[in-house]
Amino acid sequence: KAGVTQTPRYLIKTRGQQVTLSCSPISGHRSVSWYQQTPGQGLQFLFEYFSETQRNKGNFPGRFSGRQFSNSRSEMNVSTLELGDSALYLCASSFGRGDEKLFFGSGTQLSVL
Amino acid sequence: ILNVEQSPQSLHVQEGDSTNFTCSFPSSNFYALHWYRWETAKSPEALFVMTLNGDEKKKGRISATLNTKEGYSYLYIKGSQPEDSATYLCAFGLTSGTYKYIFGTGTRLKVLA
Tens-digit pLDDT profile for residues A85-113: 999 999 999 998 878 899 999 999 999 99
Which residues in chain A are closer than 8 Å to B106, comparing Cβ atoms?
42
CA atoms of A95 and A99, how far apart (whole Å): 10
CA atoms of A28 and A25, how far apart (whole Å): 8
Interface of A with B (CB under 8 A): 3-4, 31, 33, 35, 40-45, 48, 50, 55-56, 58, 90, 92, 96, 98-107
CA atoms of B64 and B50, how far apart (whole Å): 9
Can you give the pLDDT at residue A110?
Answer: 97
Taking CA A100 as the corner, what is the angle to CA A96 and CA A103, rounded to the nearest 5 degrees? 80
Helix, strand, coil percentages, rounded to 5, for chain A: 5, 50, 45
CA atoms of A68 and A54, how far apart (whole Å): 8
CA distance A19 to chain B (A): 22
CA atoms of B26 and B4, how far apart (whole Å): 7
Can you give the pLDDT at residue B2?
Answer: 76
Nearest CA-CA partner of A42 in A84, A3, A87: A87
* Interchain proximity B32–A98, CB inside 8 Å: yes
Report the pLDDT averaged over residues A40-65.
Answer: 93
SS3 B87: strand
Within 10 angstroms of residue A69's Cβ, the number of other Cβ atoms is 12
Nearest CA-CA partner of A11 in A105, A106, A87, A65: A87
Can you give the pLDDT at residue B1?
Answer: 66
Can you give the pLDDT at residue B52?
Answer: 87
> What does the pLDDT look like over A2-37, one tens digit per residue?
799 999 999 999 999 999 999 999 999 999 999 999
Measured between its terminal Cα atoms, the distance across chain B in Å is 41
Can you give the pLDDT at residue B24?
Answer: 97
Which residues in chain B are closer than 8 Å to A96, comparing Cβ atoms?
99
Helix, strand, coil percentages, rounded to 5, for chain B: 5, 55, 40
Higher-pLDDT residue of A84, B3: A84
> How would you write the pLDDT of chain B (113 residues) with one tens digit per residue?
678 999 999 999 999 999 999 999 998 888 899 999 999 999 999 999 999 888 999 999 999 999 999 999 999 999 999 999 999 999 998 876 677 889 999 999 999 99
* Interchain proximity B46–A40, CB inside 8 Å: no
Q: For A18, how many CA atoms within 13 A lie in the half-sphere containing its CB?
A: 12
Look at the alpha carbons of B75, B24, B6, B50 in this order and tell me if their dihedral is positive or negative.
positive
Can you give the pLDDT at residue A1?
Answer: 62
